[in-house]
Amino acid sequence: MAYVTSVGLVRVDRNYYKSPRDLAFEAASKAIEDVKLDTIDYVIVTSSLTYLQASQFDLAAYIARELGVNVRSAFTVEAGENSGLAGVEVALNLIRSHAAERILLVGVDKLTEYISNRTYKMIQAIYDTESDAVYNVGHAGPMALLMRLYMDRYGVDRETLAHWPVMMHTHGKENPYAMLRFKVTPDKVVNAMPIAEPITLLDAYPLGDGAAAVLLSSEDQGGDHLAKLSEVYSSIGFQSIALRDDPLSFEAVGQIAREAGLNPEDIDVAEIHDSFTITGILLLEELGFAPRGKAAEMVAEGAFTKGGSGPLVNASGGLKARGHPKGATGVYMLAEVAMQLAGTFPGIRADSPRKGIAVGVNAHGSSARLAFLEAL
């Protein structure tokens, strides 16, 4: 295990003024400003778009060099939308194997560096570029196919599904690091501009820029910490929804939930991947937070907001409202869950939470990761 010692977040936004390296610098500086450090063993940068956008190789070394701290090693981890938690997994294992005492994890990505159609082309590469993404499926297409399947199979209507983004915006409104800080109504979600029918603009994560940093320490490091990072579970899934016997099953998520022995009643807070409304809904069900076909109804009943019957889910506003700067998202999640457990999250807070999880996937679940955290 390892400790989450400190975090540094940049508000997700259309940040035209800063480059990916500027954003990474800002988040990393915040994370280490209050911690006295001589040496950081590893700087692990998680990013999936920066190489394309800034035409920069060895990004982590360039970012690390600017921190003004002695850094032994730096490298970049890429796992698409799941890059952030992949970085967490690597960091935890380095600390656990005593290869490192202190690791600074920096997630960064920008989605507004280019005009939207070019960005859509880049980010559709989260899907298999040798099958589904040979076509112009866009960033939302395959998930839209799943949303329609889900609605038909379980007889869930469009309006009920709209309660997910409604909840995310309600949560995000209280989070100073969230990109979208306004409330929406189900009606607004349903009637928003279509992105990939039946997905509307308000079902989809916004295109925004962000960076998040987390300092992880080994057990031997004294001082104050925010939370304990106990374990990261990881699995990989099919290359395409077309290969699954049930296209709606995120088998990689189910796998890690089983491995973790996840019992929803034990979890107080969760940050889960909700690139689109349907992703959030399917993850809730795959994690066992809701029976199949019932997640949207439970969301509408307030089960996953403060005071609800289930865990507090996505108090940050989720990918939907906090934002989803790809490679940075998992690092945001880790920071948010750690702050919840430490009682320092600057938004909606769970009451004395003990256990929290951060769950990420790439695309339709080509990979999945679950980070398990505990209060100190």
Partner 1 sequence: MANSENKQVINAGIVGWGAYIPMYRLPTREIARVWGWPEHQYKALNVSHKAVDGPDEDSTTMGYEAAYNALLRSGIDPKMIGAVFFGSESKVYAVKPSATLIAEMIGATPDTMASDLEFACRAGSEGLKASLGLVSSGMVKYALAIGSDTSQAEPGDVLEFTASSGAAAFIVGPRSESAAIVEDTYTYVTDTPDFWRRAEKPYPRHGEGFTGEPAYFYHIMGAVKGLFEKTGLKPDDFDYAIFHQPNGKFPLKVAQRLRFPKEKVLPGLVTPYIGNTYNASALLGLARVLDQAKPGQRILLAPFGSGAGSDAYSIVVTDLVEERQDKAPKVDDYLARSYEIDYALYAKFRRIYVMLPRG
Partner 2 sequence: MVLPVWWRKRIPRYRFVGALCKDCGRIHYPPRNACPYCGSRNLELVPLPRRGVLESYSIVYSVPGDNRLNAPLPIGLVRLENGVRVVAELTDVVPEKLEKGIEVEAVIRRIGEDGETGTILYGVKFRPALGRK
Compose the 97-126 pattern: x for residues touching partner 1 by CB under 8 A, - for all others.
Answer: ------------------x-xx--x-----
Q: Does 250 bind partner 2 (CB under 8 A)?
A: no
DSSP for 15-78, please give it: -TT--HHHHHHHHHHHHHTTS--SEEEEEEEE-SSHHHHH--SSHHHHHHHTTSSEEEEEEEE-
- CB under 5 to 8 A by kind: which of partner 1, partner 2, none does 254 bind? none
DSSP for 290-336, please give it: S-TTTHHHHHHTTTTSTTSSS-EE-TT-HHHHT---GGGHHHHHHHH
Q: Does 145 bind partner 2 (CB under 8 A)?
A: yes
Cis peptide before 198 (omega within 30 of 0): yes
Residue in 40, 64, 241, 371 binding partner 2, rule: CB under 8 A: 241
Q: How many whole angstroms separate alpha carbon 154 and alpha carbon 144?
A: 16
DSSP at 348: S
* Of residues 51 and 114, the one with the C-beta less far from partner 1: 114
**Contacts (CB under 8 A) with partner 1, residues 46-65:** none
Q: What is the SS3 string spanning 215-259? A: EEECCCCCCCCCEEEEEEEEEECCCCHHHCCCCCCCHHHHHHHHH
Shortest separation between residue 111's beta carbon and partner 2, angstroms: 12
Shortest separation between residue 118's beta carbon and partner 1, angstroms: 5
Which listed range, 103-111, 113-121, 283-291, 350-358, lies at the site for partner 2 (CB under 8 A)? 113-121
Environment class of 187 (CB within 10 Å of its CB; exposed 0-12, middle 13-18, buried 19+): exposed
Structure tokens at 252: 């990689």
- CB under 5 to 8 A by kind: which of partner 1, partner 2, none does 115 bind? partner 1
Shortest separation between residue 18's beta carbon and partner 1, angstroms: 24
Which listed range, 106-114, 139-147, 161-169, 345-353, lies at the site for partner 2 (CB under 8 A)? 139-147
**Contacts (CB under 8 A) with partner 2, residues 274-293:** none
> Which residues of this chain interact with partner 1, rule CB under 8 A?
115, 117-118, 121
Binding site for partner 2 (CB under 8 A): 116-118, 120-121, 124, 130-132, 134-142, 144-146, 148-149, 152, 193-199, 204, 238-243, 247
